[in-house]
Amino acid sequence: MSQQQSRRSFLQTLGLAGLSIPLISAGNCNEQQSKQKSMQNKDGKLGIALVGLGGYAGGQLAPALQQTEHCYLAGIVTGTPSKAIAWKEKYNLPDKNIYNYENYDSIKDNPDIDIIYVVLPNHMHAEYTVRGAKAGKHIICEKPMAITVAECDQMIAACKEAGKQLSIGYRLHFDPYNLEMKRLGQQKVYGDIKKISSGFSFVAQKGIWRLDKKIAGGGPLMDLGVYCLQAVMYTTGMEPVAVTAQTFPISDPDKFKDIEETLAWQMEMPNGLIAECRTSYSESSNFLKAEAEKGWFELQPAFNYSGLKGNTSGGQMDYPRLSQQAKQMDAFALSVKNKQQSIVPGEMGRRDVKIIEAIYEAMKTGKRVTV
């Protein structure tokens, strides 16, 4: 089956067959666009359209957009008519701002929408980012940025050609607990880090798309492992020069047909520090810990949407609860407004996919692989 056929089949499972979410007439559209744009200019917020209305979009992003100061939920792109109706009613969305995957490209004619947030399965990130950029919109793409470095390059090139910004959905760069880990590590509050480790795992249920390599691009490394390698890099302020990796016997061959179930890997940093990481779809872990010359600091849990807990050898971390997603989207809206690069740009997403590719090579060959 070709990649295009695979994508088409996947879209059909989302309910695209025969889908036709109506748009209002051109005359009314122009009139309503003018009214909406006027309102947008008045409050200064940028309009975001969510592409893909799965659990993360509905459970995290849409609620966060009710708390944002610099952007708002302006539109949606979905392959499920029932979702379109429900979202329209819940968030008071106009018909003209509701799209499906077939008329997605016509979003270019809608001035209400400034930013597209791609929240689709991994194998669709590249296509909908490129198409969104060609439609003249700034892009936020969920992690992992894409399945391959080559796809990342296509996405970056498309956004640059269109003169639009590309940001990756790395919400933890806006979380106070993870920012404190970054400060403690990079400013060497407890001296040089001598040991750092991170793990993120959960028990995946059969049937989810993340267990399908064609859709996900891999196993837990593509999903949970991204958090671990990211955390090591923003805590140490360094990028790995080489990696090694080990996988383990599969406990359920039917469930894990062509992806890793559990993976441990080591990242060799420029100063000789070795970071120890582990991810799995059949275990439970969620931590980031650094041991330094004069003390230690850790998060456990480290990567949740809320409820993070931090401790150091000098005392506990304590920060008020906030929406990581709201902070992330507001930061990108400000980057767009101020014509400043996102702090989590496409180039960072590409770097991480490159590291992931090296880890998979190390897993398959059993050798040390340079990044």
Burial class (CB in 10 A: 0-12, 13-18, 19+), 116: buried
Please confirm whether the linkage preceding 63 is cis (ω < 30° from 0): no
Q: How far apart are CA 229 and CA 257, in angstroms?
A: 25
Q: Which of 126, 171, 164, 132 is nearest to 145 (CA)?
A: 126
Q: How far apart are CA 200 and CA 15, in angstroms?
A: 33
319 is catalytic: no
**Length of the chain in residues, anyone?**
371
State the catalytic residue, choosing from 227, 234, 281, 360.
227
User: Which amino acid does the sequence have at 78?
Assistant: T
Residues whose CB is less than 8 angstroms from the CB of residue 365 and which lie 6 or more positions away in sequence, other chains included: none
Question: Phi/psi of residue 340, each to 5°?
Answer: -120, 145
164 is catalytic: no
What the block records as the tokens of 192 is 């040089």
Whether the CB-CB separation of 291 and 185 falls below 8 Å is answered with no
Whether the CB-CB separation of 219 and 260 falls below 8 Å is answered with yes
Whether the CB-CB separation of 218 and 122 falls below 8 Å is answered with no
Q: Which of 245, 197, 240 is nearest to 219 (CA)?
A: 245
Strands 98-99 and 71-77, how do they pair? parallel
Q: Which of 192, 208, 362, 210 is nearest to 277 (CA)?
A: 362
Q: Which of 101, 151, 104 is nearest to 126 (CA)?
A: 151
- At CA 53, angle to CA 49 and CA 54, rounded to 5? 145
Residues whose CB is less than 8 angstroms from the CB of residue 121 and which lie 6 or more positions away in sequence, other chains included: 10, 52, 209, 215, 216
State the catalytic residue, choosing from 83, 96, 143, 327.
143
As annotated, the active-site residues are 143, 227
